[in-house]
C-alpha cells in the first residue's frame, strides 16, 4: 500500500474545506478553499487521501500559527471582557435609572379617599404639641389634582387634593376644616389644615 504524500486534501469531517495530511495522519490545520478546477460554491467529494493518491494542493505544511483552541480561548476572553464591561456599566446605570424613575413618578395617591386623608391627619394630630385634632368626620373632596400630578421641581410642592370636613379638637372646639394634601419634591406627603 502506497502512503499518500503530505499535502492539502478534502477534509473528511467538514465538506468544503481542505485539511493538511502529513503523510501519516490528519493535522488540525484547515483551509477554507475548494480544490483546483472546482467552481466556488460547487459541492465536491471528500474522501481519504489514499483514495486518489494525490493531494488537492501540493505544498508544505502550514507554518506554526494559532491553533483552533487558541482562537477559541481568545474568543472566550473577549466575551468575558465584554460581559464584565457591560456588568460594570449596568451596575451603575440601572440604579441611577431606577432612582430617576422613582423621583419622576409621584407616589401612588390615585386610590386615596378623603376618609384616608382624615384618618391620617388625626393620627398626625395625636403626635402634635398643639391642641390635638381628635376626629374629622364627613370629609368630602373639594379639589382633586391627582390626574395630572407629577413630582414637583426640587424645593417645591404640588397640590394633590383638598378635603373638607368637620374637625373636632381636644379643647372641645369643632369647626369645618379643609385639609390639603401636598406632595414635596422628595416624594414626602405634607398635610396642611385651614379654616373651611
The three-state (H, E, C) secondary structure of 58-120, written as one string: CCCCCCCCCCHHHHHHHHHHHHHHHHHHHHHHHHHHHHHHHHHHHHHCCCCCCCCCHHHHHHH
Residue 178 predicted with pLDDT over 80: yes
For the chain, the first-to-last Cα distance in angstroms comes to 113
Residue 2 predicted with pLDDT over 50: yes
pTM: 0.45
Domain ranges of the chain: 1-59, 66-104, 114-195
State the pLDDT at residue 18: 87
Residue 194 predicted with pLDDT over 60: yes
pLDDT tens readout for residues 103-134: 444 557 778 889 988 888 888 876 766 678 88
Residue 62 predicted with pLDDT over 60: no
Amino acid at each position: 500500500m502506497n502512503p499518500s504524500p503530505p499535502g492539502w486534501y478534502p477534509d473528511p469531517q467538514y465538506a468544503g474545506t481542505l485539511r493538511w495530511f502529513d503523510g501519516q495522519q490528519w493535522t488540525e490545520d484547515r483551509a477554507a478553499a475548494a480544490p483546483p478546477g472546482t467552481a466556488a460554491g460547487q459541492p465536491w467529494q471528500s474522501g481519504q487521501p489514499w483514495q486518489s493518491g494525490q493531494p488537492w494542493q501540493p505544498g508544505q505544511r502550514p507554518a506554526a500559527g494559532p491553533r483552533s483552541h487558541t482562537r477559541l480561548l481568545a474568543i472566550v476572553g473577549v466575551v468575558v471582557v465584554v460581559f464584565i464591561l457591560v456588568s460594570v456599566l449596568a451596575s451603575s446605570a440601572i440604579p441611577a435609572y431606577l432612582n430617576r424613575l422613582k423621583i419622576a413618578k409621584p407616589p401612588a395617591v390615585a386610590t386615596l379617599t378623603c376618609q384616608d386623608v382624615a384618618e391620617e391627619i388625626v393620627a398626625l394630630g395625636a403626635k402634635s404639641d398643639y391642641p390635638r385634632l381628635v376626629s374629622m368626620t364627613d370629609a368630602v373632596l373639594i379639589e382633586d389634582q391627582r390626574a395630572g400630578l407629577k413630582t414637583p421641581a426640587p424645593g417645591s410642592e404640588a397640590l394633590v387634593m383638598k378635603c373638607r370636613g368637620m374637625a373636632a379638637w381636644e379643647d372641645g372646639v369643632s369647626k369645618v376644616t379643609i385639609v390639603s394634601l401636598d406632595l414635596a419634591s422628595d416624594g414626602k406627603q405634607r398635610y396642611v389644615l385651614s379654616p373651611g
